[in-house]
Amino acid sequence: MTCTAVVLCAMGLLGGTASQAYADPKPGDARDAKPGAERGADSAEASLKRLQDVRKKIDALYRKAERATDAYNGAKEQVELQQKEIVKLARNIDRTQQRLAALKRQAGALASAQYRGGGMPSEAKLMLGADSGAFLDDATLVRKAQQAARGVITQLSRTKGELEDYSQAATDRWERLEAHRKKKESARRDIKKKIDAAKKLESRLAAKEKDRLKKLEDEEAFRTQQKWLDSGVLKEISNKASRFGKKAVAYATSQIGKDYVWGAEGPDTFDCSGLTLRAWQAGGTTIPRTSQEQWRQLHRVAIKDMRPGDLIIYFSDASHVGMYLGDGAIVHAPRPGRQVTITGAGSMPILGVVRPDADAPERDLGHR
């Protein structure tokens, strides 16, 4: 009897739900035009589409921020370089000024000596002098003195020219320094604007939606990585790390879990190129600061020839970089709000691969 009651109750509920779902909708009540399950599916689909749109907007903002970060890092590097050049020029100017002062004193002493000699013409001295031999000795000394005076004047003129050149170079450096400072500040504002906008978008999401957003990112990365692997690229990659590359890989992987912060070079936080910079310093090689300069200056290798420790440059503007670990994986600092992590080497559009230790002697390239 209890079972029968439960079955009847269930049938009643199903029947009621069905009759309510398929009854003619009341005027103006369009929500009841679809079955509950279908409305739920539509709602879930709309929610997913909204999240995908949010993810695309956030990705676009962080990509723009990453490009601005590269501009910021490049300007920062140039500021530091110009400051060093200005210090060097200032030292040269100081040394040249001291040399110029010494030459002026020497020229003054020569002028005084000439004045004390009365400036008498050589012919008059020969005619009035009793000892022609002494005169000739004096004439030889005079010629040497004149030659010395001309040498001092030449040095004086050349030193003045050097001083003017150094001063002009210092002025040029200051102008470049100010230009790079302005560029750096502009990039900093641009980065903050983009990151703040991305964070604002994320802050509007509920906790469950944020989790779903992270899953969508991971799913997209997985699909891209799988497509890259399906191309058969790993079948061609079999190289081993150099001993320098091993050290760089060891450093980079030991930073896993540390936060991404734009412009950071460690030791507690990193941006993408800050991580590769420090990793390769640990490997004994100094490389450019930004991913764009790493792409421009370092030796390029084909994907099939890459080995652990090589740097993979991403996106058409070379705005992101990761370090290849082998087996189709990289370690990288992804973006603000994320930590240094391992992901698929093909999870982003690859621009190319560069090798920091390409110039190292072959005998130093150890193998695993």
Residue 272 designated active-site: yes
Structure tokens at 166: 């150094």
Instruction: Determine how many CB atoms are found less than 10 A away from the CB of residue 123.
Output: 8
Residue 332 designated active-site: yes
Number of H helices, E strands in the chain: 8, 6
Residue 367 designated active-site: no
Instruction: Given the residues 180, 272, 299, 367, select the one marked as catalytic.
Output: 272
Under 8 Å between Cβ of 53 and 45: no
Instruction: Determine how many CB atoms are found less than 10 A away from the CB of residue 100.
Output: 16
Question: What is the chain's alpha carbon radius of gyration, rounded to the nearest angstrom?
Answer: 38
Burial 58-85 (b: 16+ CB within 10 A, else e): beebbbbbbbbbbbbbbbbbbbeebeeb
Structure tokens at 322: 């990761």
Task: State how far the Cα of 36 lies from the Cα of 356, in Å rounded to an integer.
Answer: 60
- Characterize the bridge pairing of strands 320-326 and 341-344: unpaired
Instruction: Given the residues 9, 180, 299, 320, select the one marked as catalytic.
Output: 320
Residue 288: asked if its preceding bond is cis (omega within 30°), the reply is: no
97 CB contacts (<8 Å, ≥6 apart)? Answer: 163
Instruction: Given the residues 3, 9, 332, 367, select the one marked as catalytic.
Output: 332
Active site members: 272, 320, 332
